[in-house]
């Protein structure tokens, strides 16, 4: 039987993370995600949002706290995050941050990593960096061996190495970027976690509600 973490989709994680900020109705969530360009990472439509919210409510990860009507607009149901919802976001991000080959999940986990303590994120991303280095080196060794084997069953002509060489380069770039991020995260001036809600944030929320 799947756990709550296993059943959670990337969009579901982002919905729960929004509710960590404040109670919201689905329409506000959609507007806020689009304003922040979160739809670069996951598809956000009215249908997927309302379906996701319904599933999360059924799972006990969020709960209805009120229904409002403004003029002739349809009723809007506002939701709040449950204790279980708080925990599952953190558990999901912890699981996904160190994993390779789950590209969408990693992007969401990275976007929501600020929901974890800084030291946890540093540890998880350090593990990911080790995995990247190992995968990069294994590919590099394999390519070098293929290029050195001019004859026999191990020989490979260059045209068949193009894709794997690209993968090695991407792993190397990802590793170097992550090493730089870890240095920045270690600096006390790198703002992390919850912080004061600025005028810009409040204006963004107000625009999303309208």
Q: Identify whether residues 11 and 24 lie together within a single domain.
A: yes
Residue 194 is assigned to a structural domain of this protein: no
Gap between the Cα atoms of 167 and 164, Å rounded: 5
79 with 147, same domain: the answer is no
Q: What is the pLDDT of residues 180-202, one digit of tens each?
A: 999 999 998 998 987 666 666 66
The pLDDT value given to residue 196: 62
Q: Is residue 9 part of a domain?
A: yes
Residues 130 and 153 in one domain: yes
pLDDT in the model for residue 4: 79
Tally of helices (H runs) and strands (E runs) in the chain: 9, 2
pLDDT digits (tens, 9 = 90+) for 127-144: 999 999 999 999 999 988
pLDDT at 91: 95
pLDDT of amino acid 160: 85
Q: Could you tell me if 18 and 44 lie in one domain?
A: yes
Q: What are the tokens at 144?
A: 């070098």
Q: Indicate whether 159 belongs to any domain.
A: yes
Number of domains in the chain: 2
Residues 91 and 172 in one domain: no
Q: Any idea of the CA torsion for 60, 37, 205, 200, to the nearest 10 degrees?
A: 140
- d(C-alpha 9, C-alpha 92), whole Å: 10
CA 167 – CA 176 distance, rounded (Å): 14
- List the one residue out of 94, 115, 103 whose CA is nearest residue 14: 115
Q: For the chain, which ranges sit under pLDDT 50?
A: none
Domain that residue 152 falls in: 117-185
Specify the pLDDT at position 198: 66
Chain centroid, CA 159 distance in Å: 35
Strand ranges inside the chain, DSSP E: 62-68, 76-81
Same domain, 70 and 169: no
Residue whose structure tokens are 């293929």:
146
């Amino acid at each position: 039987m799947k756990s709550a973490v296993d059943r959670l989709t990337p969009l579901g994680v982002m919905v729960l993370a929004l509710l960590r900020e404040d109670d919201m109705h689905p329409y506000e969530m959609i507007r806020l995600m689009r304003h922040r360009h979160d739809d670069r990472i996951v598809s956000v439509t009215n249908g997927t949002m309302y379906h996701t919210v319904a599933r999360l409510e059924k799972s006990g990860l969020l709960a209805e706290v009120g229904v409002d009507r403004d003029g002739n607009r349809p009723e809007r149901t506002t939701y709040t995050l449950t204790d279980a919802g708080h925990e599952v976001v953190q558990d999901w991000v912890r699981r996904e941050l160190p994993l390779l080959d789950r590209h969408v999940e990693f992007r969401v986990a990275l976007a929501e990593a600020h929901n974890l303590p800084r030291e946890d994120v540093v540890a998880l991303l350090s593990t990911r960096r080790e995995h990247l280095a190992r995968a990069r080196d294994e590919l590099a060794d394999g390519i070098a061996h293929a290029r050195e084997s001019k004859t026999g069953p191990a020989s490979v002509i260059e045209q068949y190495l193009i894709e794997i060489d690209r993968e090695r380069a991407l792993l190397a770039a990802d590793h170097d970027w992550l090493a730089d991020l870890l240095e920045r995260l270690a600096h006390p001036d790198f703002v992390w976690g919850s912080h004061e809600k600025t005028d810009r944030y409040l204006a963004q929320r107000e625009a999303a509600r309208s």
